[in-house]
Amino acid sequence: MVHAFLESLGRIACLASCRNLPTGRYCHRKIEEQVGPKETDYAMRITHELLWRDWIGGSLEQQHVDILLYVQDLASSAENLITMARRATL
């Protein structure tokens, strides 16, 4: 059960990045092509809320591990980006 909980924060962050701050609507081009913008906003909003409720309802230990994994993944992504940028300029 703990494994299914892990990395929820990454999914939450991904959904949050699809939210248009000025309008508050969730947008995703590929999903909108299939179901339309209103349905996309609704589905992503509900999914975001359910993931958040699940995450916040978990134990502090699970949340702690999930945050560490998320930060570790961010650091790894940043290192990879820096490495690729350095290679591109050589």
pLDDT of 3 above 60: no
pLDDT of 6 above 60: no
DSSP 8-state assignment for residue 58: S
Could you tell me the two tokens for 75?
Answer: 């650091």
Q: What is the pLDDT of residues 11-56, one digit of tens each?
A: 999 999 999 999 999 999 999 999 999 999 999 999 999 999 999 9
- pTM, whole model, 2 decimals? 0.72
Burial 6-24 (b: 16+ CB within 10 A, else e): eebbebbeebeebeeeeee
